[in-house]
Structure 1
Amino acid sequence: MVTNNRVLNRAILYTLVTLTVVTTIFPFLVMLGTALKTNEEALSVSAGLWPKQITLEHFRDVLDPEKFPYWTYFKNSFITSFVTALLAVVIGTMGAYSFARLEYPGRGAFQKGVMLIYMFSGVLLLVPLYQMVTAAGLYDTKLALIITYLVITMPVSLYMLGNYFRTIPESLEEASMIDGLNRFQVIYKIVLPLSMPAIATVFIYVFMIAWNEYLFASVLITSEENMTLPIGLSRLFYTKHYVWGRMMAASLLTAIPVVLMFALVERYFRGGLTDGGEKG
């Protein structure tokens, strides 16, 4: 009876996992299939999931600057997302460490105030942020997007990093300070190496938010030379070069950097670094 229950539970688990994987991958298969179809087949009612005749025309068109300035949008998105993620990690590390380890007046109020920002939706923050950016003379600049994305992602970054820092035994830091390290050396040599899974997670989280964000970018950016990929993709709908194949090809090319970024830091998600440091 126990064996039958185990078999049934395992079958249910595998079924649910399979359904989840299929549900997740299916939209990408549709996008890839449409991007590889000719215009006639993509618009055909009887077209199947996979093209009968594979063509790379849509990918070539998307990468053609005369038809779609993909590389300009890509450069703007990458600069904005990478700088935002890097600053979020640097600022978030210092702020989260102070919340987790240091004692000073008003620490609790600062923590609650930071998390309070996260309770407001982006729509509510849009108007005040727009007024601040305009008053500072940063309208229609990448710096405006970087500051905005830092504001909307910093609460979660501080929360995630702070919780991870609290799992690191304080005895490690105390022993290091007894050996002569100061507070910044402890952070650099002890805390950061043990916190790479959390740091990688925050970096990916902020990078993805900044890479895919549309609302603030559509309001704060107007010139084509500063537009990011989400805005560029939306503009593709209203151009004479718009066809389904090109839209799907552009969407796939837009998703590749995030996938590659995740693949590069995936090894840091395995954990176990804290246990290894404590045993040492």
Structure 2
Amino acid sequence: MKTLRKGAIVGPVVGALWLLIVATAVAVAMSFATGNAFRPGLAGSILLGVTLGGAALTIRNAWLLIVTGAIAAFMMTAAGIGAVQVGDGVDTVQVALASLVTGIGAGWPLSVILARQPTGEMTRHEFEEVLLRFLTGFGYIFFTAIVVIPFYVMVMTSLKSQQALLANPLDFSVDLSKGWDLFRSYRELFEDFHFGSYLWTSFYVSVLTVLITLLFSVPGAYAVARLRFTGRAAFSRSILLIYMVPMIVVALPIYIVFSVTGLRNSIFGLVLIYPVTTIPVSLYMLQGYFRGLPSEVEDAGLMDGLSRLQVIWKITLPLSLPALASVSLYVFMIAWNEFLLAFMLLDDPSKFTLTRGVAMLNSSEVPRQHLMAGAVIATVPIMVLFLGLEKFMTRGLTAGSVKG
């Protein structure tokens, strides 16, 4: 196989690029965590990266590479040429912590990226393996950062006092000595802004939306998947056409109709309109799953004297629990997070959903930390629910992808 690169060149180059990524991540994380000035150092990152990248080709012990990287990072930072530069007022403990994290974030990944790679000529396969490992590590750091940083800023801001925000809006560290007083914004939201009522309203509206959606989508999807009728193929292909029309286009007609019929500013109106947006996607998801179920099981039930409805209730639905769980979770999240219709149709604060209540906090009269606390309250329940039921959602979405 044709050789492409020398490992002695690839190792230092990969090390320098990786250290630039790690130094940036550590500097951002330490700045957010401490409120002090940390920034990546270009010269220090390249120097340390070249050193560790070359060492990773000969030092196969990951722990030894981590310790070497941490010590080198600390010494370089103390000398003012570190991969992570520090500003005034940063104590030795924070410098040591930044160096330790840099050493771990550099040494261990480089030992994995450059594992078993030769110092001499590298084959195409070996070079591509190093490249893929490097890109995989970069992807982990990048996508974790874009998800975690906004959530971290939101949570830390919700724990700040008005005085602290006015003093330094970019300081996202918190004073743990305040104890339970850190959660003052959350307490005030429930006591003064009635967020308990908003949570309950969003919960039962979302649950009712799930029940109504399943009530219509299960028989509809079963009919498309199993029965033969005129227009079946056209109906199956046109299920998702409603999503080709942006909600903002139909929002004004919905507002006019609901105003004329007296359904505006009514929770009942939301329960009527939400399933309109969720039933099509539920039909699409469930029909694919139903097609993947063996029809012989249902035929056996019909031969035993069961009616079609009994077959659906006793055979099809029990076999479809993963799909029903994933559809229910998906519909619940849509209803929980829906904002546009709730914003247009609800004016009475006593009937606000959670998203409508959070939007109410976006005012110059309401402290910024209250808005962030409201966003956390709206995000955490659905996040916990998704993480707890994610395996059911994944199983339900993929189970109907292969027929047979």
TM-score tier (shorter): 0.7 to 0.9
1:255 aligns with 2:379: yes
Alpha carbons 1:217, 1:228 under 8 Å: kept: yes
Q: For 1:96-115, what per-residue CA distance to the aligned partner results, in whole angstroms no more than 9, with x for missing partners?
A: 11111111223334345543
* Structure 2 counterpart of 1:203, from 328, 331, 355: 328
Question: What secondary structure sits across from 2:167 in the alignment?
Answer: coil
Change (3 A) 1:130 1:215: same
TM-superposed CA distance for 1:23, in Å, is 1.2
Residue of structure 1 in register with 2:172 after alignment: 49
TM-superposed CA distance for 1:171, in Å, is 2.2
1:83 aligns with 2:202: no
For structure 2, list consecutive stretches of 5 or more residues without a partner in the other structure.
1-122
Residue of structure 2 in register with 1:222 after alignment: 347
Matched residues in 2 for 1:274 and 1:171: separation? 18
Stretch of structure 1 that moved more, 76-85 or 121-130: 121-130
How many residues end up aligned between the 2 structures?
274
TM-superposed CA distance for 1:249, in Å, is 1.0
TM-superposed CA distance for 1:138, in Å, is 2.1
TM-superposed CA distance for 1:135, in Å, is 4.2
Q: How does 1:150-161 map to 2 (within 5 A)?
A: 150-161=275-286
Alpha carbons 1:168, 1:274 under 8 Å: kept: no
1:60 aligns with 2:184: no
Change (3 A) 1:264 1:154: same
1:232 aligns with 2:393: no
Residue of structure 2 in register with 1:25 after alignment: 148
CA RMSD in angstroms comes to: 2.6
* Structure 2 counterpart of 1:165, from 290, 314, 317: 290
Change (3 A) 1:101 1:187: same
- The letter for the 1-side match of 2:376 is L
- The letter for the 1-side match of 2:279 is M
Residue of structure 2 in register with 1:110 after alignment: 235
Question: Given the two structures, how large is their TM-score scaled by the length of structure 2?
Answer: 0.62
Matched residues in 2 for 1:16 and 1:4: separation? 18
Alpha carbons 2:213, 2:275 under 8 Å: kept: yes
Larger radius of gyration: 2
- The letter for the 2-side match of 1:132 is V
Question: What secondary structure sits across from 1:43 in the alignment?
Answer: helix
1:213 aligns with 2:344: no
Alpha carbons 2:158, 2:369 under 8 Å: kept: yes
Alpha carbons 1:73, 1:232 under 8 Å: kept: yes
Alpha carbons 2:209, 2:275 under 8 Å: kept: yes
Matched residues in 2 for 1:76 and 1:159: separation? 28
* Structure 2 counterpart of 1:148, from 273, 284, 294: 273
Change (3 A) 1:193 1:25: farther
Q: For 1:124-177, what per-residue CA distance to the aligned partner results, in whole angstroms no more than 9, with x for missing partners?
A: 222332343334432221111111111112211111111121122222222332
Stretch of structure 1 that moved more, 228-237 or 130-139: 130-139
Question: Given the two structures, how large is their TM-score scaled by the length of structure 1?
Answer: 0.87
Matched residues in 1 for 2:293 and 2:240: separation? 22
Matched residues in 2 for 1:17 and 1:188: separation? 44
Greater length-normalized contact order (CA 8 Å, ≥ 6 residues apart): 1
1:125 aligns with 2:250: yes
Matched residues in 2 for 1:189 and 1:126: separation? 40
Question: What secondary structure sits across from 1:271 in the alignment?
Answer: helix
- The letter for the 1-side match of 2:334 is I
Alpha carbons 1:58, 1:246 under 8 Å: kept: yes
For structure 1, list consecutive stretches of 5 or more residues without a partner in the other structure.
none
Alpha carbons 2:205, 2:271 under 8 Å: kept: yes
Alpha carbons 1:140, 1:223 under 8 Å: kept: yes
Matched residues in 2 for 1:113 and 1:205: separation? 20
- The letter for the 1-side match of 2:297 is L
- The letter for the 2-side match of 1:37 is K
Q: For 1:234-270, what per-residue CA distance to the aligned partner results, in whole angstroms no more than 9, with x for missing partners?
A: 2123374x11111111110111221232234233235
Identity %: 34
Stretch of structure 1 that moved more, 248-257 or 14-23: 14-23
Stretch of structure 1 that moved more, 67-76 or 197-206: 197-206
Matched residues in 1 for 2:134 and 2:310: separation? 51
